[in-house]
């Protein structure tokens, strides 16, 4: 683990962490949560079977060891997190049959939700919210509508036979629409989105569009929430960095700073012949707008 005290401009050396963090099996994720009493926590999840979590109540200075959140597992835990209007948190993950109960056998892709009512300390049994007859839906990325009334989940499609998909909930994640394919411009893996100060959406992900000059690279999509609802391509898409080894990159984090600067951070093979490493890209919307105008 490393920490930054200046919004990601500089980073500490590697810091000590609990010994059993070395047993993390894949893709740890960190989220900030607040419980009903106002206690703020950072929760780090680690996937496969069982899903485990570690907790910090001092902004990441100290952490608990990883402990199971229940007798269930999953892949990329948790791909996304949403605070619901009642104060509970919904965490989202997927599994292909191997890790949900530790069976070790691939069956069918399902997307699950689990709910915490106490600021992330305990989690309920997972519930299926999305599946498809032929598509392999996974890695949900959540975005609330501008008015807060709807939740959209953008979904990776892992069979590579379809575009990415989206589902919607109009009742705080109690029920969901059937999955529908997204346009090619939003087809990729591990969508992470934030609203810019002007109300547009910036969504960053690994481009897996079937025919694309940036396939396998780290990209960002600019458009509106209504573009997603109506299946439109959006305003434009940009390549943030060129990845040199197959499609092995991205799973990006994305933060919006108070001055309107986006900071997005991820791994990839950014130099030919070198090992992968982690980078951050910083920009304001007007900067990439200007670049898009030059290209067009």
Confidence of residue 192 (pLDDT cuts 50, 70, 90): very high
What is the pLDDT at residue 106? 96
Residue 218 shares a structural domain with residue 129 = no
What is the pLDDT at residue 191? 98
Residue 6 shares a structural domain with residue 123 = yes
Residue 104 lies in a domain: yes
Taking residues 190-214, report their average pLDDT: 97
pTM, entire model: 0.96
Residue 123: pLDDT over 80: yes
Residue 197 shares a structural domain with residue 73 = no
Comparing C-alpha atoms, which of 229, 230, 206 is closest to residue 219?
A: 206
Structure tokens given for 144: 């609330």
Residue 212: pLDDT over 80: yes
Residue whose tokens read 């030919």: 272
Range of the domain at 33: 1-133
Residue 68 shares a structural domain with residue 125 = yes
Of the residues 133, 162, 197, the one at which a domain ends: 133
What is the pLDDT at residue 296? 60
Grouping H, G, I as helix, E, B as strand and the rest as coil, residue 51 is coil
Residue 157 lies in a domain: no
Which burial class, exposed, middle or buried, applies to 107 when counting CB atoms under 10 A from its CB (0-12, 13-18, 19+)?
A: exposed
Residue 170 lies in a domain: no
Average pLDDT, the chain: 96
Residue 151 lies in a domain: no
Structure tokens given for 286: 């007007």
Residue 235 lies in a domain: yes
Confidence of residue 210 (pLDDT cuts 50, 70, 90): very high
Per the structure, the count of domains in the chain is 2
What is the pLDDT at residue 63? 97
Residue 30 shares a structural domain with residue 121 = yes
What is the pLDDT at residue 109? 98
Angle (nearest 5°) at CA 82 between 80 and 85: 170
Residue 39 lies in a domain: yes
Residue 105 lies in a domain: yes
Residue 175 lies in a domain: no
Residue 81 shares a structural domain with residue 201 = no
Comparing C-alpha atoms, which of 231, 233, 195, 202 is closest to residue 219?
A: 202
Of the residues 92, 110, 133, the one at which a domain ends: 133
**Chain length of the chain:** 296
**% of the chain at pLDDT higher than 90:** 97
Residue 30: pLDDT over 90: yes
Residue 162: pLDDT over 80: yes
């Amino acid at each position: 683990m490393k920490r930054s005290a200046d919004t990601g401009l500089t980073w500490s050396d590697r810091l000590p962490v609990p010994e059993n963090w070395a047993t993390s099996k894949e893709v740890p994720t960190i989220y900030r949560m607040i419980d009903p009493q106002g206690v703020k926590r950072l929760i780090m999840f680690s996937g496969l079977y069982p899903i485990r979590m570690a907790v910090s109540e001092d902004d990441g200075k100290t952490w608990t060891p990883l402990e199971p959140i229940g007798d269930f597992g999953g892949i990329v835990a948790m791909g996304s997190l949403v605070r619901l209007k009642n104060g509970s948190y919904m965490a989202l993950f997927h599994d292909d049959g191997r890790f949900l109960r530790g069976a070790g056998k691939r069956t069918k892709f399902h997307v699950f939700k689990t709910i915490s009512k106490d600021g992330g300390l305990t989690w309920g049994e997972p519930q299926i919210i999305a599946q498809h007859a032929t598509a392999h839906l996974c890695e949900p990325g959540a975005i609330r509508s501008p008015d807060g009334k709807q939740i959209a989940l953008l979904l990776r499609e892992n069979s590579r036979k379809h575009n990415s998909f989206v589902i919607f909930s109009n009742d705080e994640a109690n029920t969901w629409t059937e999955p529908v394919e997204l346009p090619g411009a939003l087809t990729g893996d591990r969508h992470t989105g934030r609203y810019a100060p002007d109300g547009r959406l910036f969504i960053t992900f690994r481009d897996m569009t079937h025919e694309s000059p940036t396939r396998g690279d780290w990209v960002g999509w600019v458009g509106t929430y209504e573009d997603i609802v109506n299946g439109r391509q959006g305003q434009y898409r940009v390549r943030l960095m060129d990845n040199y080894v197959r499609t092995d990159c991205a799973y990006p984090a994305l933060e919006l700073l108070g001055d309107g600067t986006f900071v997005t951070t991820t791994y990839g093979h950014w130099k030919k012949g070198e090992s992968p490493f982690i980078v951050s890209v910083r920009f304001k919307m007007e900067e990439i707008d200007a670049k898009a105008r030059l290209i067009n």
